Amino acid sequence: MAIRLRHTDENPHEAHEINVTPFIDVMLVLLVIFMVTAPLTTVNVPVDLPSSTEKPAPRPDNPVFLTIKADQTLALGEDSVTQNDLPNALNAAAKGNKDERIFLRADKSVDYGTLMSVMDKLRAAGYLKVALVNLQGQEESTQAP
């Protein structure tokens, strides 16, 4: 009579593989969550930006200044202009060049709605390059009332 010793490798082998499907599902859910929340986290990030030591861009030879006065009237350069005559006056001042940068200045007391209506008039006239002018090197608290 023969005695048979059982070895562990004689048992039928089971497949010991990792099922990666749940891991892939979890990773896809996390990817979607991060894709949705990433833009929301960068919208209102308070940051104290450093000042630049770079000099301001050079002023053009003949800049076109459009000014909104405190009484909400317009002036193109030194000449008063109405909102209806603004496109024709801009074409004359910019010599028909629609790529000319228009420097827009507004009094501090001018409300936002008036500023936006003038900017809409500029856009409707075809002038898309608008630069807003401010006082450089002065803070609001140091200005005279």
In the chain, domain spans? 64-135
The CATH number of domain 64-135, selected from 3.30.420.270, 3.40.50.300, 3.40.190.10, 3.40.718.10: 3.30.420.270
pLDDT tens, 34-70? 888 877 665 555 555 566 666 666 777 788 888 888 8
- Cα–Cα separations (whole angstroms), residue 102 to 86, 96, 143: 12, 13, 25
pLDDT digits (tens, 9 = 90+) for 78-106: 888 888 888 899 888 888 888 888 888 88
* Half-sphere exposure (Cβ direction) of 67: Cα atoms closer than 13 Å: 14
Checking phi first, is residue 83 left (phi over 0); if not, alpha (psi -120 to 50) or beta?
A: alpha
